[in-house]
Amino acid sequence: MSGLAKVLPLMLLLFIVPIIPIFAQFPPQEQFRTIIIPAAADSFVDPKLPSLNYGASQELKVGLDRAGVAKTAYLRFNVSAFELDSFLGATLNVHLKSKSESVTSVVAVIQVSAGWDELRINSLNAPIVSLNASGSINDTVAFVNRWHSWDISSILSNISDTGAELSFAMRLLNGPGENTFSSKDSKFVPFIEIRTVADVNDLQPPFFGNIRLEPNEPTVEDIIEIFAEVSDGGSGVERVTLNYIRAEETNWVLTDMEGIAAGLYYSALPRQPSNSTFFFFIEARDFAGNSISSAVISFNVTRPAYYRQIQVELNQTRQFYESQLANQTLDFEERLNSTILSFQNEIGLLQNEMDLLARDLEELLFDYEILLLDQTRLGSDSRNLESSYAQVLALYNELKDQYSEIELAYQGQRNIGDGLRASLDEIRKNYSVLSLEYENSLARLDISDQRAGQNYLLAIGASAGFGLLALTAFSLWYFGRRSAHQTG
């Protein structure tokens, strides 16, 4: 054997031996899973109302007044079986709905060993809670409409019976103030999130249960809420995302859905414009990397019911205005034509009387001229005839003056009639403008502001009423004047 052949095995051994510990320090990367356990029972107690029970309330009150009187919330969970050797950590998650004070609060979560009944617990029989208990976990609570978490890993790691019930009390450490959390009877159910080592042989993706939209027929005024039930029997659900798009757009919007209860995920869309069509689908992935997408679901955004009511009322107002204007116009023209016809009849009768008087005057004048030819025979009779002629002439001139006055009055009435017809034309023109404004306003009506629609309705009603009032007042003035003239 050559020298190289003797040295080569030794060199390989020297190279391989140091590498073995290095591989031993880096085992294959583990995958993880999450177990969600929703609250099985919850309530709160108020020492100021000691006998009342709040087990059916949608809220959990945690407060402390200036006198040191505390409202305490209680939660209970049925801890699902899990392998303690694969347990990595756990958090208690409760949704903060509102705060009475804007300052940051410190809330203590304390393990409770004594039993209690959700529908019977009150301030008189509630388990006594000590803020100095060894199982007390403190954390800050600052933002409303947010989930807040307390790390309860130390409590779950000491549980020997994984099928046991686990109870907590929530107390406010600093005050005064009151924090209102969501209970299990709301859509934000308190839950425990447990992280464990996952099954590396998981090859199945999550699967979907019910997917629903609230409200089912959203309007421009609604916050659109989407709920999805997602389950995974292997490594657990790692992430659920909502993908949505409006029909007029080209890019999908992706947002993470929030786990609000065991297997229930939630996301909300802001208010959307009316007459819009939306499409969305949900994608879920487990800790083993398996993913799945739901079917694409569509929905339409419509105008709210009160908008349709405004449209009905606007149309009714418009129809009323049209009918009233038509009736007033027809009635006014009929009365105006009747008045003009009456004047024409009076002038005709007066003209006939004047014609008769003119003929009588001509006859008297003829007789007078004949009598003048024989003054001797007539004598004093000629003076009497002159006197009679003068009287008839004076009567004729008086009637002629009356005729001129009546003809002048008739012409005045014709001028008034022409003015009234011009007023009617102006009213029709204003009505056309109002109708155009009505159509434009109806097209521009923004349904997100109900008061704008109501104010427009009042405005058009006032305009219609003013138009009818003006026409009616003008008619009353005219016919009152006509009546006074006839009486005079």
Q: What tens digit of pLDDT does each residue of 139-167 get?
A: 888 888 888 899 998 888 777 554 578 89
Q: Which CATH class is domain 306-487?
A: mainly alpha
Q: How confident is the model at residue 445 (pLDDT cuts 50, 70, 90)?
A: low
Alpha-carbon distance 297 to 212, whole Å?
A: 10
More confident residue, 304 or 225: 225
Report the pLDDT averaged over residues 352-377. Answer: 69
Architecture of domain 32-197: Sandwich (2.60)
Whether the pLDDT of residue 18 is over 50: the answer is: no
Strand partners, 261: 264
Residue-wise pLDDT tens digits, 399-438: 777 777 777 877 777 777 777 777 767 776 776 777 676 6
Whether the pLDDT of residue 448 is over 50: the answer is: no
Whether the pLDDT of residue 13 is over 50: the answer is: no
How much of the chain, in percent, has pLDDT values that exceed 70?
70
Q: Please indicate, yes or no, whether the overall pTM of this predicted structure exceeds 0.95.
A: no
275: left (phi over 0), alpha (psi -120 to 50) or beta: left
Alpha-carbon distance 47 to 56, whole Å?
A: 18
Compute the radius of gyration of the chain from its Cα atoms.
49
Where are the domain boundaries for CATH 2.60.120 in the chain?
32-197
Q: Which CATH class is domain 207-302?
A: mainly beta
Report the pLDDT averaged over residues 200-226. Answer: 85
C-beta of residue 336 within 8 angstroms of C-beta of residue 320: no
Alpha-carbon distance 47 to 65, whole Å?
A: 11
Whether the pLDDT of residue 260 is over 90: the answer is: no
Instruction: Give me the long-range contacts of 130-138 (CB less than 8 A, separation at least 24).
Output: 131/171, 131/173, 135/110, 135/111, 136/108, 136/109, 136/110, 136/111, 137/108, 137/109, 137/110, 138/106, 138/107, 138/108, 138/109, 138/173
More confident residue, 61 or 232: 61
pLDDT at 26: 36
Alpha-carbon distance 115 to 128, whole Å?
A: 11
Helix, strand, coil % in the chain, rounded to nearest 5: 40, 30, 30
C-beta of residue 76 within 8 angstroms of C-beta of residue 134: no
More confident residue, 13 or 292: 292
- Give the position of tokens 């014709």: 414
Within 401-488, strands assigned E span: none
